[in-house]
Amino acid sequence: MIISDNTFIAVVCFSKLRLQQAKEFCVTNELPLLKSKSDRYDLQLLFHDDLIELFDRQLQASIAIDFLRGKLAHRQHFGGGRGQAIAKAMGIKSGITPRVLDTTAGLAADAFVLATLGCPLTLIERSPVIACLIDNAIERASLSENFQTILKQGFEVINCDANDYIRHRLATGKPAPDVIYIDPMYPERKKSALVKKDMQILQHLHGKADNTAELLENALLYAGKRVVVKRPIYAEAVSSRTPDTCIKSKKTRYDIYTIKKMAE
Ligand SMILES: C[S@@+](CC[C@H](N)C(=O)[O-])C[C@H]1O[C@@H](n2cnc3c(N)ncnc32)[C@H](O)[C@@H]1O
């Protein structure tokens, strides 16, 4: 499996408890396993007893996901609930909590917001490194009662390419989600200071590969009600298709493509 386009990655395991898990991850993804950090690798997935984090040697910074503390928990309590642009874009209203397929899970921030608003979710992430960070965040959060409610409602992570996932679901006649959500990597900006550190680390991991136009076409074939694409406010739509409507916030635009069902 191609894990990254342009970066050397290694796994560093500091924990006896996680050694077997780290070994299996390395075998599956053909990555070297180290006992301590090394200057030879740009990105290093660090396995501690509890936490798994991704360390970027160039930025001297790490990312990990935490559903219980920090930014995500703050947004859950003070983020504006159903009044947020993302909630409106999904069609969340009193008594309506659509089933969402998040095709670009990333650090699962948007998925977590939607889950806290009551949406059942399937998260698709093609990078095994990022999927590993999400799995670890779920493992740590699952001790909390509030997060158990989210898990019961539906918060499943699948490590694969969303195009393959959708094609397989279509071919096997599986029920469609109400909404398919796409949040591609943002177009590169000249001033890298404008890109947050966690997104810079994602860019180092993923390079510039982009298949969003193909993903939009597949999503339109499969979604029950709508496809929502997140864009920076300054960016063009992801393909020549014009969205049916847009919901805007200060820095972000949600392009909404409504599914028109043929009369039977
Ligand atoms: C901008 S990030 C998403 C951020 C996410 N919405 C959040 O709130 O944290 C984009 C992510 O989508 C993933 N991705 C891009 N194309 C994909 C595809 N075709 N299938 C699955 N994952 C994909 C990338 O690996 C990356 O982690």
User: How many domains is the chain partitioned into structurally?
Assistant: 2
Both tokens of 47, joined, read: 């396995």
Pocket probe mutation, ligand 1, options 54, 126, 167, max atoms within 8 Å of Cβ:
126
Strand segments (E) across 57-210: 61-63, 100-102, 121-124, 155-158, 179-182
132 in the same domain as 26: no
Ligand 1 pocket member 100 (CB < 6 A)? no
Q: Is the CB of 107 under 6 A from ligand 1?
A: yes
Index of the ligand 1 atom closest to the CA of residue 206: 25
What domain range is 51 assigned to? 9-63
How far does the centroid of ligand 1 lie from the alpha carbon of residue 120, in Å?
Answer: 18
Atom of ligand 1 nearest to the CA of 102: 6
Instruction: Say how many Å lie between the CA of residue 183 and the centre of ligand 1.
Output: 6
Q: Coil, strand or helix: which one is 231?
A: strand
pTM: 0.93
Residue where a domain stops, chosen among 39, 63, 87: 63
Q: Are residues 54 and 116 in the same domain?
A: no
What pLDDT tens digit does each residue of the chain (264 aa) get?
Answer: 445 655 799 999 999 999 999 999 999 999 999 999 999 999 999 999 999 999 999 999 999 999 999 887 777 776 678 899 999 999 999 999 999 999 999 999 999 999 999 999 999 999 999 999 999 999 999 999 999 999 999 999 999 999 999 999 999 999 999 999 999 987 665 555 556 788 888 888 876 667 899 999 999 999 999 999 999 999 999 999 999 999 999 999 999 999 987 655
Same domain, 246 and 192: yes
Q: Return the ∠ at Cα 95 (arms to 73 and 247), rounded to 5°.
A: 65
